[in-house]
Amino acid sequence: MSGKSLLLKVILLGDGGVGKSSLMNRYVTNKFDSQAFHTIGVEFLNRDLEVDGRFVTLQIWDTAGQERFKSLRTPFYRGADCCLLTFSVDDRQSFENLANWQKEFIYYADVKDPEHFPFVVLGNKVDKEDRQVTTEEAQAWCMENGDYPYLETSAKDDTNVTVAFEEAVRQVLAVEEQLEHCMLGHTIDLNSGSKAGSSCC
């Protein structure tokens, strides 16, 4: 890939076993392991891509979702440009824990302006038939908690995996554009509730 590349750090958070490592591995290596082991701490992989004419090196950080690894994962939240909040559609508890993951990220990443931070929500394992969370309720959660994009993925079938990571990049670029626009002589109205892609001024 030619041209100057923008380095973006995205981080996958969610309960143990929802498929974070599998999503990262499917996207970067196009492989799926049906016997994947739990992550201990964090791991990361890079992939270059082009989104809307911008060259990006995506640094994807995969974290350990199990509670006992909390102190190993949280130091890596700082500097993330986007957070992919992940649950599994066949695991209701993982959906109900999304708000805790969102809070944990905001706290340890020390996000100064949570309202404008780009989160993307992923409902993984849509290939499974024993769903416990409907598309509509996941969309409603996203709407209520920050109007976040919601994508249903399957690392197993490679459904929406590329789309999900590209959406993360689009969200970051939209926030950056908005900030640049605001810094060009406009005032940011933090009370306007504006989101990525809409006017902040």
Cβ closest to ligand GTP, residue 118 vs residue 123:
123
Cβ closest to ligand GTP, residue 81 vs residue 90:
90
Cβ closest to ligand GTP, residue 51 vs residue 155:
155
Count Cβ atoms below 10 Å from residue 92 Cβ, excluding itself. 14
* 6-13, strands of its sheet edge to edge: 42-51, 54-63, 6-13, 82-88, 119-124, 150-152
Cβ closest to ligand GTP, residue 123 vs residue 149:
123
Min CB(171)–ligand GTP separation in Å? 21
In whole angstroms, give the CA distance from residue 92 to residue 125: 12
In whole angstroms, give the CA distance from residue 56 to residue 76: 20
Min CB(17)–ligand GTP separation in Å? 4
DSSP code at position 151: E
Min CB(181)–ligand GTP separation in Å? 36
Min CB(73)–ligand GTP separation in Å? 9
Helix and strand numbers (H, E) in the chain are 6, 6
Site residues (vs ligand GTP, CB under 6 A): 14, 16-22, 33-36, 38-39, 64-66, 124-125, 127-128, 154-156
